[in-house]
Structure 1
Amino acid sequence: MNKTGSSCIRQAPSTRSFPVHFCSVVKRARRSGLVRPEQPLLCRRKRFHKGLRLVLRVEVLPKEVIQRIASGEVIDTPVAAVRELVENSLDAEATRIEIEVNFDVCDITVRDNGHGMRPHDLENCILQNATSKLRSLEELETGQVRTLGFRGQGLWAISQLCESLQIRTASEGSPCGYMIDYNARNGTTDPVQPVAMSSGTIVQVRGLFQGQQFAMRLAAMPRKTQLRQQLLSFVQATALCHPSVSWRVREGGRNVLVLFGDHHFLDEESEEESAKRALIRMFSQITDILPEECGAFLDRHACCVLAYPDRGHHRVRADAVTVAVNGRAVQNAELQSAVLSHMRRSVPSGRFPIVFVHLRCPGEDVDWNIRPMKTEMRLKNLDQWLQRIRESIDRCFSIPLSELSSADSLAGIYARNAMEAENSAFDGLPHISMHPSLLKLEVVAQIANTYILATNPELGDLWIVEQHTAHERVLYEKFSAQSNRLTSDTVELPVPIIVRAPFAETDVDGIRDSLGIHMTVFGPMEWKVERIPRMFLENGILDLESRNVKRVAEQSFQYLLQTLKSASDLEDQIAFLACKAAVKNGTPLSLERMQWIVNAWLETRAPRTCPHGRPTFRQLNAKELEIFFQRRYTPRGSVDDPRGSVPSRHAPC
C-alpha cells in the first residue's frame, strides 16, 4: 500500500490502454497477414514496451514495381532520355544528329544518319536488357565493350515512362525503312510497318513523365530554363568528344544550338592533324573563341584543347573545365582537380581556365558499373592517366611555328554565320592548318627598357616580349624543378641578418622546413637569419655585395620573409621568389642577355603567361600588318579563301 492507500502492484496493460489508432493498425496488420496472430506487437510508447511486437514479412516486389524503379534510375529527367538516344546514335556511327525537344509536354525527337536497324532488331530494341553491343559476361569483365551503351536499358526505360514511343529506321542499302509504335498506356506494340525514309534512325518520344503516376516526379522536375541549360551542356560536352559529328538542337521550332562537325581530310595533312583541326574548330564554335587563340594536342591516349589565358580567356567559375573518358563526359573529382592544379599558375588568381581533356583508356582500365547514368567511373592506374593529363596540357601551351592570322579567323566566322543564316545542311568551315614545330625568334632591339622586340626570320612575324614576365616564367619552372635544393643546399651567411617581424615559432619552423631559411631568436620581435638557400645568392634574390647590408636586411629580406610567410603553399612561395629574382622592367639589357631570355622562355612548359597569369608576349604577323596598312586584302573567293580562286588584290600605291 502507498501513502494514498492504493495498491502498488501494477496492472498488466489491456488493449483499452492502447491508443485507438494503434489498435486499428494492429487489427489491420493481423487481418492482412503481415503479423502472426500469436506474435505480440510492441507499441512505440515506452510504457507499453511489454506489449505486442510488430514483425514484417519479406516479400518479392511485383514486376511492375521493379520495372518502375529500374526505369526511374536510368531516366530521371528529359535530358537523361536525350542522352540515351544520342549515345545510340553515336554508337551507330552517325555524323549528323538533330535533337528537337518541347519541355512543356516533354516531347523528344532525335534524328541521325547512322547505320539504322533491321526489322527484327526493331522489334527487340525496346525490350529490357536487349542490346547489340554486349554478348557475354567475359566481354564485360575483360573490358571488350567499345560502345557508349551496353546495358540495353535506355529505350526500354524510356518506353516505361512515356505515353508513346515511335521508332523509324532504315539501314544502308535497304529499299525502304521500317517503323514501330509502342503504346505505354496499354503496353501494346504495333506490328512493324514499312516507311519511306533515307538511311538513319528517328526516335520520337511523346509525353515523357506525363500522367498521374508521375505527378510527384514531375513536380520535382527542374524548371524549363534549367533543363535547357542541362541539355546544351550535355550536347556541347559530347560534341567535343566527337568533333566530327554535326549537331542541331531545336526547341519550339527554332534553333537553339548549331555545331558543324568536320570529318573531311585534306590531301596534305595526316589523320592526326585533321583530328586536331576538327577539335579546335568545334571548341571554337562552343566557346566563341577564335581558333588561333586555342591550343590543342592529340595522341593515341589523350587529347586536350584549351583557350590561351594570355588572351584573356578565363572565367570566374570552373564550369568551363570538361573531362571526358572514352567518348563520354564524366564527373570525376580527381581528374578535374589534376587539370585545375596543373593550370593554376597559368591563369590569374581567382580565375579558372577554359579547357577540355579527353582520355582514351583501354576498356579493362575503366569501370562504368557505378551508376546507371554512367556519368561516374573509376580508373585503373590513375596516377599514369593523371600524368598524361599534365603532359597534354603542357603540349597545348607550346607556341607553334605559325599562328593563324585574324583574317583567317574572320573568314571562318563569316562562313559559319552565313551557313547558320542559310540553315544549310552542316557544311564545313574553311580548313585550318596547324604547324606543331617550335618557334625560333631573333632579338633585334629593346623598347623602353621593358619590352624585347624579336622577329621570326622565316615568316616575318613581329613579337613583343615583356622581359620581366618572360624571365619570371623561366625562373619559376627552374625553381620548381629544383625545389629540393631549397632545404638541402644552404649556405651560412658571413654576417647574420637581423629581421624585425612578429613571427611565431611555428612560422619560423615552417619557413625552415619549406625554404631552408634558418632563423633563431635574437630579441623581442627580432630574429637572426644565419643560413639561407644557395639559390638565393645564385639568382640574385639576396644581394650580399651591397654596401649597406643593414638596409638590405631591414627592407629587402624582411619584406621577403613576410611575403613568404603569407603564401598559402610552396607553389606560391616559389612564384614569389621567381618574381623577386626576375629582371625588372626598366633595366637595360644587352642583345645577348635578351636572346638568352627569349630562348629560355620558348623552352618553358607554359610560355604564354607568367606564374601569376599575366601575358608574356604579343604577336603581330605579316597578314595583320598588311591589313592594317591597307596594303593587301582578301575578298571572298580569293586564293586564301578555299571557296574560290580569285587572285588577291593589292593596294594601288
Structure 2
Amino acid sequence: MSIIHVLDESTINKIAAGEVVERPASVVKELVENSIDAGSNKVEVEIMAGGTSFMRVTDNGRGMSTEDAKLAILRHATSKIQEVSDLNTINTLGFRGEALPTIASVSRFSLMTRQRDSEFGTLVEIKGGKVEDLREAGCNIGTTIKVEDLFFNTPARKKFMKTPVTEGSKINDFIIKLALSNPEISFKFINNNKLVLSTPGNGSQYDVIQSIYGAKVSEELLGVEFEDIDIKITGFLTKPSMIRSSRTWQTFIVNGRIISSRSIGKAIDNAYHSLLPKSGYPLAVLKIEVPQNTIDVNVHPQKSEMKFEDEGRIFKAVYKSVLDAIRPAGQSLDFVAAPVANPERHYTIEPMHFAVPHQTAVTAYNPLVPPSPIVRENTVSFSQAQAILNASLPKSEDLSQDNRQGESLSVSAKMPEIMESAGHAATDLPQIIYEGTLTPMGQVDNCYIVAQDPKGLYIVDQHAAHERILYDRFAALADKIPSQQLLVHLLLDFDDKECTLILDNQELFQSLGFDMDASGPEQMRLKEIPSDIPVGEAEAIIREILESLQNMHNLTAQEIRHACLATTACRAAIKAGDTLNIRQMQIILDELTNTTLPYTCPHGRPTIIKFGAAELAKMFKRT
C-alpha cells in the first residue's frame, strides 16, 4: 500500500488557511486590501469578540459580476496577475487567489456583491469550504463579506488565539496603518457596536493622523519631504517631545504597501540620535515611492516585508529626510517646546509675597562661561508691590500711544521705572528692549528660566539648554575645538590603563581641545584645554571621557565623538543653582533658538516645556 497520497481539496484549503489566516486580523487584512484594490473610497469594518465570532467588511468599490463571484471562491483565482512575469511588476496590495477560499474553508462565510451597472447583486454562502447557496440578491453597489465563527472546524487553531481584547487590538492597529497609507479612503471601525475609529477620507494624511491620535499629537508633527532621482519620501514625524515606548505607531508605506523594515527604523533612530531617551520612539508615517522593478514584495507570505534592490540607498534617503525634518534651525522656541500633558493641579494657600529683583549694570556676557551670581532679591509685601506696579505702569491711553510709535513695553523695559518707585536708583538698571522670540521673566530655584510670548508660558532647563548650545557648537567644528594654552600646566595622575588609553586616543583628545603628553610614570601633563570650559572642570571632563571610552564596545568613530562631545558640553554648561540675570537668560533663549536640534540636550532630556493657553485654562479651571 502506498505511503504517499494526494490530499483532498478540503485538507489543502485548511493548510493554506494556516499560511493566510493566522488570526482574525489576517482575515481583515485580506478583505480590506481587496476593497482598496477594488477602487473603494469608503470601507467599514465591524467586529464582535475580537473578530473571533463575527467580522464584516463593507466597501463601495467596483463589485463583481455573478461569474466573477463564482470564480473568486476558487483557489488560485485572481484578477491581479495573468502570467508569471506579472509578479515582477505587481502594484496591487494582494494577488493570492487562495485568500477567499481559504478564509471560507475555516469559517461561516458569506459574500454579497454588485456592480454599478447591474440591477441585482450576487450572494454566496459557504460553510467550512462547502458552497451552500449562490443566487441573485438585492444589495448596495460594492462588496460586503461576512466571516463568522472563525476556526469553528479547526479547534486546534482556535485555541491558540489570544483574548478577544488582544485580537481586537491587532485589528485596530492594522486598520490604523491602512488608514494612514490611504488618506483618500474613509475608514470606519466598529468594535462591539462601538465606533472606535473614523477617518475623513479627504486625502490629507495630516487629518488622518489627527483623527486617529488626536490634536495633542498632531500639534507636534513635523513634515517630511525628500526627492531624489527616483526616490520620493513624504510624511510626518513627531518632535522628540512626543514619543512612545514601542514602534507600533511607526508606519512605513512603500509604493502603497505597508511594510515592516528594520533598515528604515534604524535610519529614523540614527537621525534622532541624542534627541531621545534610551527607550523611546517618535511617531513616524513615511510614504516612500521607488520604481516598482527595484523591489520584491514576495519575500514574505503576508507581504509584510519587502526586499530592496539597494537597501543602503533607501537607508541614506530616509536618514536624510528625517534629519532635515527635525533640524528646525531658526525656528521659534514655540515650535520646539514640549507641551505639558495632563498637568496636575495642586492648590495650596500661602502668604503672598512678591520678589522684585535688583539688578546691577549688565556686563558683557559669554554664554559659554558660567556667570557669577549678580542678582539679589528684595522682598516686599503684596500691598507694597501693588502700589509700586500701579504707580509705575502706564495708563491705557499711554499704552496705545506708545504702540503707535512702535515701542516695546515689555516688563523688562519698564523695570527701571518700577525699581525707581521702590526706592532704587533707576541708573542701576539700563533700559534694554530684547528682540528674542521669548521674553525671560526670571528663574525658579536658580535652575529653570521662566519666559513668555503671546502664545503661552515657557519653562527652560538652563543646564539642558546650554548643554545643547555647546554641543551643537562643538559638533560644528569638524577639525578641532579651539583651545587655550595654560600658563601653568596641570599634572594629572592616572593609572597605567588610563595613561595607555589617553595615548592611544591622543588624536581624539586633541580634536576635543585637550593637549596632553606623558610627563612621568602614570602621570600626564595637560597643556591646553577647550577655550569654552573653565580650568577647574578640565580634569573632571577628561576622567569622564576616559570612563566612557572604557565602557564603549565596537562603536563607530562618530558614536565615540558624540559621547565625548556630550560629556564636554555637559561639564562646561551652566549648572542648576547658577544665578542668571535677565540679559543672560535672553542670550540662552536666543542661542537655543539658533541650534539645529533645540528640543533636547545631547542626552535626550527636554530643554523647554510650554504651557499653552489651553493648559493654563485647565489648570485654573476655566474650562
- Normalised by the size of structure 2, how large is the TM-score? 0.68
Which residue among 15, 22, 34 is the counterpart of 1:76?
A: 22
Which residue among 269, 275, 286 is the counterpart of 1:346?
A: 275
Asked if residue 447 in structure 1 is aligned to residue 393 in structure 2, the reply is no
Contact 2:25 2:171 in 1 (8 A): yes
Asked if residue 201 in structure 1 is aligned to residue 143 in structure 2, the reply is yes
How many residues are paired up? Answer: 509
The 1-side partners of 2:540 and 2:618 are apart by 51
The 2-side partners of 1:529 and 1:91 are apart by 72
Asked if residue 167 in structure 1 is aligned to residue 111 in structure 2, the reply is yes
The residue identity in structure 2 corresponding to 1:157 is T
Asked if residue 375 in structure 1 is aligned to residue 375 in structure 2, the reply is no
The residue identity in structure 2 corresponding to 1:158 is I
Which residue among 160, 164, 170 is the counterpart of 1:230?
A: 170
SS at match of 1:222: coil
Summarize the Cα distance change of 1:139–1:511 in structure 2 as closer, same or farther, 3 Å threshold. Answer: same
Asked if residue 527 in structure 1 is aligned to residue 530 in structure 2, the reply is no
Contact 2:234 2:287 in 1 (8 A): yes
Once the 2 structures are TM-superposed, how far is the Cα of residue 455 of structure 1 from its aligned partner?
Answer: 6.6
Summarize the Cα distance change of 1:564–1:599 in structure 2 as closer, same or farther, 3 Å threshold. Answer: farther
The Cα offsets for residues 174-224 of structure 1, whole Å up to 9 and x where unpaired, read as 444332223445x336434131x322321012332222xx23323333343
Which residue among 31, 36, 55 is the counterpart of 1:90?
A: 36
- Mapping for residues 314-333 of structure 1, pairs under 5 Å: 314-333=243-262
The 2-side partners of 1:175 and 1:303 are apart by 42
Question: Which structure is larger by alpha-carbon Rg, 1 or 2?
Answer: 1
The 2-side partners of 1:490 and 1:584 are apart by 22
The residue identity in structure 1 corresponding to 2:69 is L
SS at match of 1:157: helix
Question: Which 5+ residue runs of structure 2 have no aligned equivalent?
Answer: 343-434, 554-558
Q: Which residue of 1 is the match for residue 502 of structure 2?
A: 508
The Cα offsets for residues 586-612 of structure 1, whole Å up to 9 and x where unpaired, read as 354685x76665455334443222222
Q: Which residue of 2 is the match for residue 260 of structure 1?
A: 198
Once the 2 structures are TM-superposed, how far is the Cα of residue 148 of structure 1 from its aligned partner?
Answer: 1.2
- Mapping for residues 480-495 of structure 1, pairs under 5 Å: 480-482=475-477, 485=480
The 2-side partners of 1:356 and 1:594 are apart by 37
Once the 2 structures are TM-superposed, how far is the Cα of residue 79 of structure 1 from its aligned partner?
Answer: 1.7
Contact 1:304 1:358 in 2 (8 A): yes
The 1-side partners of 2:92 and 2:17 are apart by 21
SS at match of 1:282: helix
Summarize the Cα distance change of 1:130–1:600 in structure 2 as closer, same or farther, 3 Å threshold. Answer: farther
Which residue among 60, 74, 77 is the counterpart of 1:113?
A: 60
The Cα offsets for residues 576-635 of structure 1, whole Å up to 9 and x where unpaired, read as 2222333445354685x76665455334443222222222224466787799999xx99x
Contact 2:20 2:302 in 1 (8 A): yes
Q: Which residue of 2 is the match for residue 291 of structure 1?
A: 218
Contact 1:443 1:594 in 2 (8 A): no
Contact 1:497 1:553 in 2 (8 A): no
The 2-side partners of 1:445 and 1:221 are apart by 57
Summarize the Cα distance change of 1:223–1:89 in structure 2 as closer, same or farther, 3 Å threshold. Answer: same
SS at match of 2:224: strand
The 1-side partners of 2:474 and 2:494 are apart by 26
Asked if residue 388 in structure 1 is aligned to residue 317 in structure 2, the reply is yes
- Which stretch shows the higher mean deviation, 564-573 or 72-81? 564-573
Q: Which residue of 1 is the match for residue 569 of structure 2?
A: 578
Once the 2 structures are TM-superposed, how far is the Cα of residue 84 of structure 1 from its aligned partner?
Answer: 0.5
Contact 1:165 1:182 in 2 (8 A): yes
Q: Which residue of 2 is the match for residue 305 of structure 1?
A: 236
The residue identity in structure 1 corresponding to 2:55 is I
The 1-side partners of 2:485 and 2:6 are apart by 78
Q: Which residue of 1 is the match for residue 121 of structure 2?
A: 177
The 1-side partners of 2:299 and 2:467 are apart by 45
Asked if residue 498 in structure 1 is aligned to residue 491 in structure 2, the reply is yes
- Normalised by the size of structure 1, how large is the TM-score? 0.66
Q: In angstroms, what is the RMSD of aligned CA positions?
A: 4.2
Summarize the Cα distance change of 1:349–1:527 in structure 2 as closer, same or farther, 3 Å threshold. Answer: farther
% identical equivalent positions: 27
The 2-side partners of 1:76 and 1:331 are apart by 17
Once the 2 structures are TM-superposed, how far is the Cα of residue 134 of structure 1 from its aligned partner?
Answer: 2.9
- Which stretch shows the higher mean deviation, 447-456 or 91-100? 447-456
The 1-side partners of 2:224 and 2:272 are apart by 15
- Which stretch shows the higher mean deviation, 502-511 or 78-87? 502-511
Contact 1:492 1:531 in 2 (8 A): yes
The 2-side partners of 1:337 and 1:613 are apart by 17
The 1-side partners of 2:544 and 2:337 are apart by 44
Contact 2:237 2:283 in 1 (8 A): yes
Summarize the Cα distance change of 1:166–1:509 in structure 2 as closer, same or farther, 3 Å threshold. Answer: farther
Q: Which structure carries more relative contact order (alpha carbon 8 Å, separation 6+)?
A: 2
The 2-side partners of 1:184 and 1:626 are apart by 59
Contact 2:186 2:198 in 1 (8 A): yes
The Cα offsets for residues 515-535 of structure 1, whole Å up to 9 and x where unpaired, read as 4467666566x3314576xxx
Asked if residue 133 in structure 1 is aligned to residue 60 in structure 2, the reply is no
SS at match of 1:572: helix
The 2-side partners of 1:259 and 1:392 are apart by 30
The 1-side partners of 2:537 and 2:201 are apart by 63
The Cα offsets for residues 275-333 of structure 1, whole Å up to 9 and x where unpaired, read as 25314313424xx84532344435673334344443xx434445444434344442322
Asked if residue 240 in structure 1 is aligned to residue 185 in structure 2, the reply is no
SS at match of 1:369: coil
SS at match of 2:243: coil
Which residue among 258, 265, 290 is the counterpart of 1:361?
A: 290
- Which stretch shows the higher mean deviation, 72-81 or 238-247? 238-247
The 2-side partners of 1:576 and 1:514 are apart by 14
SS at match of 1:375: coil
Q: Which residue of 1 is the match for residue 604 of structure 2?
A: 613
Q: Which residue of 2 is the match for residue 24 of structure 1?
A: none
The 2-side partners of 1:81 and 1:577 are apart by 55
The residue identity in structure 2 corresponding to 1:472 is E
Summarize the Cα distance change of 1:479–1:566 in structure 2 as closer, same or farther, 3 Å threshold. Answer: farther
The Cα offsets for residues 5-59 of structure 1, whole Å up to 9 and x where unpaired, read as xxxxxxxxxxxxxxxxxxxxxxxxxxx256xxxxxxxxxxxxxxxxxxxxxxx87
Once the 2 structures are TM-superposed, how far is the Cα of residue 463 of structure 1 from its aligned partner?
Answer: 5.3
The 2-side partners of 1:293 and 1:137 are apart by 46
Summarize the Cα distance change of 1:201–1:479 in structure 2 as closer, same or farther, 3 Å threshold. Answer: farther
Q: Which residue of 2 is the match for residue 150 of structure 1?
A: 95
The 2-side partners of 1:98 and 1:373 are apart by 20
Q: Which residue of 2 is the match for residue 602 of structure 1?
A: 593
More strand by share: 2
The residue identity in structure 1 corresponding to 2:36 is L
The 1-side partners of 2:291 and 2:35 are apart by 22
Asked if residue 541 in structure 1 is aligned to residue 533 in structure 2, the reply is yes
The Cα offsets for residues 343-382 of structure 1, whole Å up to 9 and x where unpaired, read as 2422234444344434333322321111211112112332
The 2-side partners of 1:105 and 1:560 are apart by 57
Summarize the Cα distance change of 1:501–1:171 in structure 2 as closer, same or farther, 3 Å threshold. Answer: farther
